[in-house]
Amino acid sequence: MIVFDGVEKRFGDHVVLRDLDFTVAPGEHVCLIGPSGSGKTTILRLLMTLEKVDAGTIRVSGKCLSHMERKGAMVPADEQHFREVRKRIGMVFQQFNLFPNMTVRGNLIEAPTRVLGLPADEANARALELLELVGLADKIDAHPTQLSGGQQQRVAIARALAMRPDVLLLDEVTSALDPELVAGVLNLLRDLGRRTDITFLCVTHEMGFARDFSDRVLMFDAGQVIEDAPPVELFSTPRQQRTKDFLHAVVDRA
Amino acid sequence: MPAWDWGYAFEVLPQLLRALLVTLEITLLGSVLALLLGLLIAVLRHARIPVLDQVLWALVEFIRSTPLLVQVFFLYFALPRFGITLSALTVGVLGLGLHYATYTSEVYRAGIEAVPRGQWEAATALSLPPARTWTGVILPQAIPRVLPALGNYVISMFKEVPLLLAISVVEVVNKAQEIGSQTFRFTEPFTIAGLLFLVLSYPASILVRRLERRRVT
């Protein structure tokens, strides 16, 4: 269970998220849509502890992520607390961010061996299994630079899964891909959604994907959720004018 | 007396070669110090730890803004007053190493900053501990980028070693001076000393240039 409670995030004078409340149930697939700069990505970055909240709290599986208890009071979390809570959360980035100095195998076994303390053979087995899942078992000894964008992103997804996360954050994972490679990655995610009970939070501009992948879609504007509904409802009968305009613009483009 | 005496040149060559070994030894040890200490400074400064960061900044600026010769004199003549007496060779290595560590730290810093932010974020998202993020992700990407610049500083250090004749380290130029003052023939020993530097520096700089080209392609 992910809970955002009165979360505020500012960058200087610019308020990115204001008084944000929402919850995501375990195993739920939630897509975040909305115009650029509406704070969607910031939500994922807050969950991944890449950014810190300015006000409010975030809880993941009961554990407070933004704050910790010290001497009976809640104080902003420190690095060590962050390190503890982020182990159950995985993230896939728009720009893949594979480690170019390692092979595909190296990328996949790095965190399981260094963070979870898995023995090398077990981590290797897990890596191979995941690469088979994403259809890239033959690339295990390749370097990231030898792969296409779509292949890199599938490796990045496998790398995040290697940590067996409860929550997977997908930050516009197909935005940097050539159009012809988008479908492969999205189909992989659909497949993962069916096969696993991972909680998914996706920021996406792929409305078709949001429609058939998610249980719920959150429409963002100016740092707030302005509409929260199952995809069938949100896409066919949006209640807010802002949502209608946004969907209109996005669908027209496609 | 001929302008150039081959017999004399071959007679002094072995002595100069032996002195060259001292030059190379100081270069090697000084480089190791400069490369390791510079890396340490760059990594520590990246963490921006209050006070420590200011101290390191001041130290780096101070060392970079004063001549190496003054620093070497200080280490050699002033430290004994505080009860620390070091051999000329040790002072040479320490002086060069410290001085160049401030330059290499800036080179490393540039290399570290050139690693995309996404790499740090991916390491964070995978919960990698900070030490492993440095050794496994950041430095393996940062250091290859700056190897040519580091190589150039090693070559500079090699050519700065003769400065240590000021504290009587018998490296190759000091040796040439010594031979010359005994025989009153300076042309051959100094020419040979110069050629020895050329013979080593030039191939080294070609190597660095090749490294640079490899990084570009």
3-state secondary structure A192-216: HHHHCCCEEEEECCCHHHHHHHCCE
| Angle at alpha carbon of residue B33, lines to B115 and B150, rounded to 5° | 40
Chain B residues in contact with A102 (beta carbon < 8 A): 136
Q: Report yes or no: B162 and B171 within 8 Å, Cβ to Cβ.
A: yes
Whether residue A92 is contained in a domain is answered as yes
Whether residue B1 is contained in a domain is answered as no
Q: How far is B147 from chain A (nearest CA, A)?
A: 15
Q: Do A101 and B137 touch (CB under 8 A)?
A: yes
Portion 95-134 of B in contact with A at CB < 8 A: 116, 118-119, 121-122, 124-129, 132
Whether residue A76 is contained in a domain is answered as no
Whether residue B33 is contained in a domain is answered as yes
Whether residue A7 is contained in a domain is answered as no
Q: Report yes or no: B12 and B77 within 8 Å, Cβ to Cβ.
A: no
Whether residue A75 is contained in a domain is answered as no
Whether residue A100 is contained in a domain is answered as yes
Q: Do B119 and A99 touch (CB under 8 A)?
A: yes
Q: Report yes or no: B73 and B163 within 8 Å, Cβ to Cβ.
A: no
pLDDT of residue A252: 62
Q: Report yes or no: A30 and A3 within 8 Å, Cβ to Cβ.
A: no
Chain B residues in contact with A89 (beta carbon < 8 A): 125
Q: How far is A50 from chain B (nearest CA, A)?
A: 7
Whether residue A97 is contained in a domain is answered as yes
Q: In 3D, which of B119, B154, B117, B121 has the Cα closest to residue B140? A: B119
Q: How far is B138 from chain A (nearest CA, A)?
A: 9
Whether residue B9 is contained in a domain is answered as no
Whether residue B76 is contained in a domain is answered as yes
pLDDT of residue B1: 67
Classify the complex by whether its ipTM is higher than 0.90, answering yes or no: yes
Rounded to whole angstroms, the Cα distance separating A153 from A141 reads 16
The secondary structure of chain B as a DSSP string is --SS-HHHHHHHHHHHHHHHHHHHHHHHHHHHHHHHHHHHHHHHHHTT-TTHHHHHHHHHHHHHHS-HHHHHHIIIIIGGGGT----HHHHHHHHHHHHHHHHHHHHHHHHHHTS-HHHHHHHHHTT--HHHIIIIIIHHHHHHHHHHHHHHHHHHHHHHGGGGGGGT---HHHHHHHHHHHHS--HHHHHHHHHHHHHHHHHHHHHHHHHHHHHH-
Q: Residue A243: what are its φ and ψ, rounded to 5°?
A: -65, -45
Question: What is the extent of the structural domain holding A122?
Answer: 22-48+87-253
Question: What is the extent of the structural domain holding B74?
Answer: 25-216
Whether residue B202 is contained in a domain is answered as yes
pLDDT of residue A66: 78
Q: What is the CATH number of the domain that holds B76?
A: 1.10.3720.10
Q: Do B122 and A97 touch (CB under 8 A)?
A: yes
Whether residue B158 is contained in a domain is answered as yes
Q: What is the CATH number of the domain that holds A190?
A: 3.40.50.300
The set of residues, in sequence order, having a beta carbon less than 8 Å from that of A167 and lying 6+ positions away, is: A2, A47, A60, A88, A89, A90, A198, A199, A200, A201
Q: Do B125 and A91 touch (CB under 8 A)?
A: yes
pLDDT of residue B216: 58
- What tokens appear for B3 in the block? 């302008």
The count of domains in chain A is 1
Chain B residues in contact with A86 (beta carbon < 8 A): 124-125, 127
Whether residue A133 is contained in a domain is answered as yes
The count of domains in chain B is 1
pLDDT in tens, chain B (217 residues): 678 899 999 999 999 999 999 999 999 999 999 999 999 999 999 988 999 999 999 999 999 999 999 999 999 999 999 998 999 999 999 999 999 999 999 999 999 999 999 999 999 999 999 999 999 999 999 999 999 999 999 999 999 999 999 998 989 999 999 999 999 999 999 999 999 999 999 999 999 999 888 765 5
Q: What is the pLDDT of residues A84-110, one digit of tens each?
A: 888 899 999 999 999 999 999 999 999
What is the torsion angle, in degrees rounded to the nearest 10, for the CA atoms of residue B30, residue B31, residue B37 and residue B42? 150
Rounded to whole angstroms, the Cα distance separating A55 from A57 reads 7
Whether residue B161 is contained in a domain is answered as yes
- What tokens appear for A49 in the block? 């502890």
In chain A, which residues have pLDDT < 70? 252-254
Q: What is the pLDDT of residues A193-238, one digit of tens each?
A: 999 999 999 999 999 999 999 999 999 998 899 999 999 999 999 9
Q: Position A38: which residue type?
A: S
Whether residue B29 is contained in a domain is answered as yes
